Amino acid sequence: MSRTEQDKATIAEEDDGIRLDRWFKRHREGTPHALLARWARSGQLTLDGKRADVSDRIAAGQTLVMPTPPVETVARPARKGRPLTDADVELATGMMIHRDASAIVLNKLPGLATQGGTKTEQHVDGLLDALKFDGPVRPKLVHRLDKDTSGALLIARTPKAAAYFAKSFSNRSARKTYWALIVGVPDIQQGEIDLPLAKQPGSGGEKMHVHDDGLASKTRYRVIERAGNSAAWVELQPLTGRTHQLRVHMAAIGHPIVGDGKYGGKGAFLTGTISRKMHLHSRRLRIDHPDGGAIDISADVPEHFAASLDALGFDLLLGDVGVDDVAKGPPPKAAAKAAAKAHSKQIRKARRGERRGRTADSKPTDFVGKPKPKPKAKAGSGKAAPAKPAGRKPGAQKRSAPPPKAR
């Protein structure tokens, strides 16, 4: 059986780190995925001479060898989105709070969706062409925020950065800190909420609820300040990344986020001048950078959130006091064993020091740390018990000279 005519391509820098099937979507758009899979199974796709699979990550400079696509798979014209207006460009660039060669961080506005959907005309994903600047490709989303949640949103500027950041979010090495206003005040000032979450039946997957068969979900919280018993300003750190996790968890412990009618119902709204918008804000994002170092960026709260903090008498400067890193899961076994060994060694050293430092006037202790009682004088003798010779260990008996050896 004759083999198909071969074609070659060198992987460019802007394609570094993406999947092989993604490369075909970019550069051989008309090639069906089923055809790619058949080429991979038959060994007709190779990278630097080695057999490749459609799911393999490719690297800049690699040589890709593939069959020449048949005539019927010529590339179809790319689907074009809505042209950006000057207002769109101004909106996108106005949200930007950080930019480097690999990343952009936006302070997303509340009410702006991260991605498109039914009846959603304007969203961050649709504005990314305005943020290309001098980059090699169109920027890409690597995580998302709910439509009504504001704050720090990371955008990757290269495929390599997108793969790196996506891995950081999936293995939870990225650290996210949120601010929220909640109804009422938790009895415990800081703690961890550990409640499994699942999609709520009948909601079409649009709503979550606490369920024993759900996925493990953990949220750390800390009360920053309280307004009597009516409301509190809290710091939230998601230790897992479930849909609507922070909103469901706070509602589940009886303190819904202010403005979150979806999970808190009518009880999620405060009276007076407090806005009815949701008060959940992605305040800080800390994540390692693919080029070395790290991104550590804070996003200012939106106008309605700032106004509510002021109306409740909260001091904005208190928000960043006491922020610390969150330990991500249990330490490795090797580290735990080393720590236990070091601790035991320290205890042994301390005990050796105690034994060396004991004198005739010292108070020896037994294995549970209780001082041994002093010997009492015999009744009526009027004499105290004789002191033990200095330098002899407590309880040690005088040894007699060894018997002479037999000749």
Q: What share of the chain is helix, strand, coil (3-state, %, to 5)?
A: 25, 25, 50
Tokens 């930007």, residue located: 96
Cα gap 390→245, rounded to integer Å: 68
Q: Evaluate the CA torsion angle 168, 172, 177, 182 in order and state its sign.
A: positive
Which helix H or strand E contains 197, and what residues bound it?
strand 197-199
Q: Which residues contact 47 (CB under 8 A, 6 or more apart)?
A: 20, 56, 58, 62, 63, 64, 65
Residue 237: closest CA among 217, 213, 262 = 217
Residue 155: closest CA among 100, 74, 207 = 100
Cα gap 327→179, rounded to integer Å: 19
Residue 347: closest CA among 371, 367, 370 = 367
Partners of 51 in beta bridges? 46
Cα gap 116→17, rounded to integer Å: 26
Per the annotation, the verdict on 310 as an active-site residue is no
Provide DSSP, 261-323.
HHHHGGGG--STT--SS--EEEEEEEEE-TTSSEEEEE-PPPHHHHHHHHHTT--GGGGGTT-
Residue 278: closest CA among 263, 247, 257, 298 = 257
Token pair, residue 215, equals: 């996925």
Of the candidates 16, 146, 148, 260, the residue annotated as catalytic is: 146
What are the catalytic residues? Answer: 146
